[in-house]
A and B are shown apart, each in its own frame.
Chain A
Amino acid sequence: MNSTETNLADLDRRIVLASQAGLPLDARPYHWLAKELGVGPELVMERMRAMLSDGRVRRIGVVPNHYRLGYSANGMSVWDVPDGDTREIGRQVGDLDIVSHCYQRPRHLPRWPYNLFAMVHGRSREEVTDKVAGIAALLGDRVRSYDVLFSTRILKKTGLRIQG
C-alpha cells in the first residue's frame, strides 16, 4: 500500500469506529461525522459510498428489533446437500424472505453431516418448523438430511464490534 491508500484505510477504519453504534439523528449526519473526524464531509461521503460498493458496508438503514415485531422465534436450519449443488440451493434458500443468514460451512463427519446453514424466522416455533418443512419440500430429493436447532438460552450477546 502506498501512503494515500494507508491514509484512506485508516480513515475508513475511523469512520467505522465513529458510526458502528449508529448514525446521529441529525439533518446532516455525514457532516456531523466529518466534523467528529476532522475531515471534509465530501470525503466522508465518498468513503461511505466506496465501502458500500465493495461490501464493507452491507447497507445503511433502520435495523428492526425482530422480537418486538413479533418474530420471536428463530431456528438454525441445517442441511446436507450435495457439494456440487450447494451454490444453487444456497441462493434458492437465501432468497426466501423468512431466511436471514444463509451460508455454506464445512461438515464435521461423522457427527455433523450438514453443509448449508440458514436462519429461519417466524412468530412461533411451530411456524419456524412449518417453514423449514416447506423448504425441505421445495428442495425435494436434493436434500439428504436436515435438522433445525432452536436456541434455548442466550449465554452471551455482546454483538460484533470492530476494535479500535
Chain B
Amino acid sequence: MDELDRHIINSLQGGFPVSERPFRDAADELGTTESELITRIRCMLDDGLLTRFGPLYNAENMGGALSLCAMQVPPEHFDEVAEQVNAFPEVAHNYQRDHEMNMWFVLATESLEKLAETLQKIEEDTGLTVCNFPKQEEFFVGLNFQV
C-alpha cells in the first residue's frame, strides 16, 4: 500500500460521484488519472484491502426489517444452539460474545411480521428466550478509517 492507495482509502469511503465518468471525476479530485484509479481499486479488491466497492445500501429503508437479537445459551449446548439458529436463512450474522448473553445475531426479513414469526420459531426450536433489540434511533453508521 503506497501513498496513493492510502489517499484513495481515506478519501473515497463515500462521495463517489454519480456521473457519466465518475472515476475520472474522482481521479481529478485525488490528483490521479481515471485508469490509474480503476487499477488501484481493482488491485486493492483483489488483494483484500477493500471488501467492496460501490453503493452501501440501508436495508431497512429498502422496506425490509432488521433487528439485533441476543440469547443466553447454556455453554454445554452452545454449538447445538448455534447450529439451530444458523439454519435460519433470516440470520445474517451471528457472533459469540463474552457475556452472560453469549449469542448475538442479526435477523433480516422482508417485513416486521416475518421478523416476529422468525423470532418465535427460533424460540420454539431452541427452547430459549430471545431478547429482541430493534434499533430505536440511529446516531451514526459508518467508519472513516484513516490509514
Q: Which residues of chain A have a CB within 8 Å of any CB of chain B?
A: 13, 16, 19-23, 25-31, 41, 45, 48-49, 51-52, 54-66, 68-71, 76, 86-87, 90-91, 93-95, 97, 99-106, 108, 111-112, 117, 121, 147, 149-160, 162-163
| Beta-carbon contact of B16 and A60 below 8 Å | yes
Interface of chain B, main secondary structure = mixed
User: Given the known A-B contacts A16-B57, A25-B38, A64-B147, are A156 and B105 also in contact in the complex, defined by CB atoms under 8 Å?
Assistant: yes
Q: Which residues of A contact B95 (CB under 8 A)?
A: 151, 153-155
B48 and A152 contacting across the interface, CB-CB below 8 Å: no
A155 in contact with B86 (CB, 8 Å) = yes
Contacts A49-B18, A64-B13 given; indicate if A100 touches B136 (C-beta within 8 A).
no
Assess A60 versus B55: contact at CB under 8 Å? Given A95-B140, A154-B95, A163-B110: yes
Please state if A160 and B38 are interface contacts (CB–CB under 8 Å).
no
Q: Which residue of A lies closest to B72 (CB)?
A: A111
- Listed in ascending order, the chain B residues whose CB lies under 8 Å from chain A are 8-9, 12-16, 18-24, 34, 38, 41-42, 44-45, 48-59, 61-62, 64, 66, 68, 70, 72, 82, 85-86, 91-101, 103-106, 108, 110, 131-147
Other-chain contact of A45, B18, B50, B51, B86 (Cβ < 8 Å)? B18
Q: How far is the CA of A155 from the CA of B93 in the complex (A)?
A: 7
Contact call A99/B133, Cβ cutoff below 8 A: no
Interface of A is mostly: mixed
What is the CA–CA distance of A55 and B56 in the complex, to the nearest angstrom?
Answer: 10
Most buried by A among B18, B51, B132: B18
Nearest residue (CB) in B for A26 is B38
What is the bound-complex CA distance between A132 and B41, given in angstroms?
33
Give every chain B residue within 8 A of A13 (Cβ-Cβ).
62
**Pairwise interchain contact B49-A159, C-beta atoms closer than 8 A:** no
Write the nearest CB–CB distance from A130 to chain B, whole angstroms.
Answer: 17
Residue of B nearest to A150 (CB): B98
Provide the residues of chain B in CB contact with A52, threshold 8 Å.
18
Given contacts A150-B97, A158-B92, 7 further A-B contacts (CB under 8 A): A20-B57, A22-B54, A30-B22, A62-B41, A117-B68, A152-B97, A162-B62
Closest 5 CB pairs of A and B: A94-B140, A59-B14, A94-B139, A90-B139, A100-B143
